[in-house]
Amino acid sequence: MSWKDKTHELNARRTAALAQGGEEAVAKQHAKGRLTIRERIDTLIDADSFDEVGRAAGDAEFDENGNLIEFTPANFVLGFAKIDGRRVVVGGEDFTMRGGSPTTAGFRKSVYAETVALKHRLPLVRMHEGAGGSVGVQKNPTPPAPVFDPPRFRTVAQTLGSVPVASAAMGAVAGLPAARLVSSHFSVMSEETAQILIAGPAVVARAMGEKLTKEELGGAKVHARNGTVDNAAKNEVAALEQIKTFLSYMPSNVWELPPVTQPDDPVDRQEDMLLDIVPHDRRRAFDMRRVIAAVFDIGSFFEMGKGYGRSQIMGLARMNGQPVGVWGNDGRHLAGAMTAEGAHKARRFMELCETFHLPIICLIDEPGFMIGSQSEKQATIRHGAAAVLTAAMTNVPWASVMVRRSFGVAQAAHYGPDAYVIAWPSAETGPLPVEGGVWVAYRREIESAADPDAKRRELEDMLAVKQSPFPRAEAFAIHELIDPRETRPMLCRWIDRVQPLLPQLLGPSGFALRP
């Protein structure tokens, strides 16, 4: 006897699975300006590369003769795919069914996304839309998981130390999917369609009396500025583009090196503007992103976390084709001082680089930790010390370029062990910037002078000389003092020198990224 009947039924189920929540639900999703999970996957991956896992998972209903009437697929779509020719695992909730709130098999598939990415050592991309558990009654409720099951979030945590995880918030994301979203090496939200919520407006209104819309509670204006997600993107397609860009700098896992691309930017390119970019007037800020653009491979800088901790600039770039972590200070924001948020951002950035063995290049203009009552209230010293100690425990190669200021305890976060330290002539360094230090140390002398202002300036100028990089170069306290235009050639040579060190770092790091 042939199995034709059964394969016929199987095909009917597969067709039903592709229909997702049905025509009406899909039309509703489109009417809200959102893609379905299958469309998201198609947008993200190389054409025809989707190799789905668990197509038969779902709930079946039969008539009295045992014939299939209806098949409702599990509402999490999962599979292998390729992005730019490299294999990944992709998955996401299907919002067209139960608003993405997991069915039994849907939940299992979502957990399997992490499990299978770990097993195959492949990057994981999650596209989230949906809430966590619902108090509603399921069709076929299963008993609660056994008490000896591993913790639900164990695989989520394990992926962060093993494979790149990139997640996108595409619609409203709450509860469990929201926790997964932020448990990523890179997360992005669609400004037009996404909100991230611990609990939605109805629950909030009832419990707290706050009457806010989804957008007011958890839109991009809130979460792209507080570090909940790294980046915002205009819409879903732009968010997926950012994920592809992020992955292009990443190895497939911690046992492999990041992909070095064929560089098309000369290693000896020297930009004249670097000679003038740091103003002589120490109070005058400059645009560090222009330095980044001039030094790293042209167009290769991908910034992450621009919306929060804004005095610190973090991102990925390439130096002669080698993916690196880039960290600069933005003197245009709070004078570049390290805030609690900036320190948190810095810690995560270093953990990312350490996990995936990316060399770190720092362009330093760090005046120190942010001071004042607001900063004290934010426990800046604790977050700051965490960043400093993270730097001290990294194993990846560091190159630290003293562009301008490098002061206080906060500066220590910008130099890893055995950092290659080069300084521009504009570098100033010491326990604290002269402007603050002079007043505290010489207050009596200044106040008793005939012209206190002139005395203060005289002392500042005298002490500024001591903060100059020349004595440091003489004492071999830095490796080189350089013409700013030499920055790229020197860093390209350094990248070449550290190549043999990178394979020795492979494997899980002593610490991985934590949300």
Partner 1 sequence: MATEVELETAGTVWKLLVKDGAAVKEGDMLFIMEVMKMEVPYEAPHDGTVKDLNIAEGDVLEEGDVAMEIG
Chain contacts with partner 1 (rule: CB under 8 A): 281, 283-285, 310, 331-335, 337, 435
Smaller CB separation from partner 1, 284 or 444? 284
Whether residue 362 contacts residue 401, with contact meaning beta carbons closer than 8 Å, is answered with yes
Smaller CB separation from partner 1, 269 or 333? 333
Smaller CB separation from partner 1, 4 or 284? 284
Whether residue 388 contacts residue 426, with contact meaning beta carbons closer than 8 Å, is answered with no
Smaller CB separation from partner 1, 283 or 377? 283
Smaller CB separation from partner 1, 106 or 219? 219
Smaller CB separation from partner 1, 61 or 376? 376
Please tell me the distance from the alpha carbon of residue 348 to that of residue 351, in angstroms, as a whole number.
Answer: 5
Q: Which two tokens stand for residue 458?
A: 């005289």
We find the least distance from the C-beta atom of residue 306 to partner 1, in angstroms, to be 10
We find the least distance from the C-beta atom of residue 334 to partner 1, in angstroms, to be 5
Q: What is the 3-state secondary structure (H, E, C) of 341-382?
A: HHHHHHHHHHHHHHHCCCCEEEEEEECCECCCHHHHHCCHHH
Smaller CB separation from partner 1, 11 or 374? 374
We find the least distance from the C-beta atom of residue 32 to partner 1, in angstroms, to be 27
467-499 b/e with 16+ CB inside 10 Å = b?
Answer: bbbeebbeeeebbebbebbbbbbbbbebbeebe
Please tell me the distance from the alpha carbon of residue 338 to that of residue 309, in angstroms, as a whole number.
Answer: 8
Q: What are the C-alpha distances in Å from 60 to residues 77, 101, 114, 136?
A: 17, 18, 26, 19
Helix (H) or strand (E) holding 218: helix 214-218
We find the least distance from the C-beta atom of residue 339 to partner 1, in angstroms, to be 11
Smaller CB separation from partner 1, 120 or 333? 333
Smaller CB separation from partner 1, 218 or 331? 331
Please tell me the distance from the alpha carbon of residue 59 to that of residue 11, in angstroms, as a whole number.
Answer: 15
We find the least distance from the C-beta atom of residue 435 to partner 1, in angstroms, to be 7
We find the least distance from the C-beta atom of residue 337 to partner 1, in angstroms, to be 7
We find the least distance from the C-beta atom of residue 329 to partner 1, in angstroms, to be 11
Give me the long-range contacts of 486-489 (CB less than 8 A, separation at least 24).
486/270, 487/274, 487/291, 487/294, 487/295, 487/401, 487/422, 487/424, 488/267, 488/268, 488/269, 488/270, 488/271, 488/294, 488/295, 488/296, 489/267, 489/268, 489/269, 489/270
We find the least distance from the C-beta atom of residue 312 to partner 1, in angstroms, to be 14
Given CA atoms 299, 300, 304, 306 in this order, what sign does their dihedral have? negative
We find the least distance from the C-beta atom of residue 380 to partner 1, in angstroms, to be 15
Whether residue 430 contacts residue 392, with contact meaning beta carbons closer than 8 Å, is answered with no
